[in-house]
Amino acid sequence: MTHDNTTANNASRLPTYFISHGGGPWPWMKKEMGPTYDQLAASLADMPRQIGRTPSAILMVSAHWEAPAFTVQGNPKPPMIYDYGGFPAHTYEVHYDSPGSPELAQRVQSLIAAAGLPVQIDPERGYDHGMFAPMAAMYPKADVPVVQLSLRRGLDPAEHLALGRALAPLRDENVLIVGSGLSYHNLRNFGPQAHGVSKAFDDWLDEAVVKSSAGERSAQLLDWDSAPAARMAHPREEHLIPLMVAVGAAEAEAGERVYHEDAFMGGLVVSSFRFGA
């Protein structure tokens, strides 16, 4: 991976993504889940085609890792973190064995530090399911290095937009930035009864990140909890905040909805988005 000072043209710049990553170890539960995840799996599997080339590495910001400072995974061979409960026994033995990248971790640390944001490297951290579940669909051979980056406790939207801006140079270095969360995440209100509130928030989200101008988009995201059904969709916002990073890293560029389903898990309206390129 290189990071010289040459200015890459937009054709060589990778997009950024905010993906809905689904629940727990779903790629390893096809027998139990049937067609539930077929549309999401297809959208994730299509990402390499959309990108048009293989990234040198992926920087994954997962909703399932929060730390006092932005923390970069420095482990060259990250182990698995089975951060879910109540799933079949075999899902606690699954492996997604992509390599880490200490080199990318150092680069990420330097970019974040240069922006004046608190940052550290964790040399031991493993992969959580916010990473390995979608990656199993995106790159099933586990042949692309992946580095995870934490959210920062407090979940301040402005701070995570600023994080994205700091990371933007990676897009010209063949590093794919992916925010991994869920556009709707209220575990106490799932299924058909949640259709109305998930649709209200998803409609706002599409308007804010796809149909608004770039400047308006950031302003609306800073005020996301004023959106229709916002706190019904996200009683706690850790599954939304990765979106801020993806947007911040492509702040002046267009957004597009690349996955949309209106009856996910029996009735939820959910989406994923791509920014730039």
Q: Give per-residue pLDDT as tens, 154-200.
A: 999 999 999 999 999 999 999 999 999 999 998 777 888 889 999 99
Segments forming the whole domain that contains residue 108: 13-275
Report if residue 186 sits inside a domain. yes
Number of domains in the chain: 1
Q: Is 82 exposed, middle or buried (0-12, 13-18, 19+ CB in 10 A)?
A: middle
What is the CATH number for 17? 3.40.830.10
Report if residue 264 sits inside a domain. yes
Report if residue 241 sits inside a domain. yes
Q: What is the 3 state secondary structure string of 139-162?
A: CCCCCCCEEEEEEECCCCHHHHHH
The SS3 of residue 19 is strand
Report if residue 210 sits inside a domain. yes
pLDDT at position 193 is 85
Report if residue 213 sits inside a domain. yes
For the chain, what is the radius of gyration of the CA atoms? Answer: 17
pLDDT per residue as tens digits for the range 31-48: 999 999 999 999 999 999
Band of residue 204 on the pLDDT scale cut at 50, 70, 90: very high
Average pLDDT, the chain: 94
Query: How many C-alpha atoms does 127 have within 13 Å on its Cβ side?
Result: 31
pLDDT at position 11 is 63
Report if residue 136 sits inside a domain. yes
pLDDT at position 132 is 97
pLDDT, greater one: 203 or 193: 203
| Sheet with 146-152, edge to edge strand ranges | 119-122, 70-73, 146-152, 57-67, 175-181, 16-20, 268-275, 255-264
68 is written with which tokens? 């006092």
Return the amino acid letter for 255. G
Q: What are phi and psi of 16, to 5 degrees?
A: -120, 160
Report if residue 201 sits inside a domain. yes
Residues 263, 160, 234, 125, Cα dihedral to 10° = 80
pLDDT per residue as tens digits for the range 205-236: 999 999 999 889 999 999 999 999 999 999 99
Report if residue 149 sits inside a domain. yes
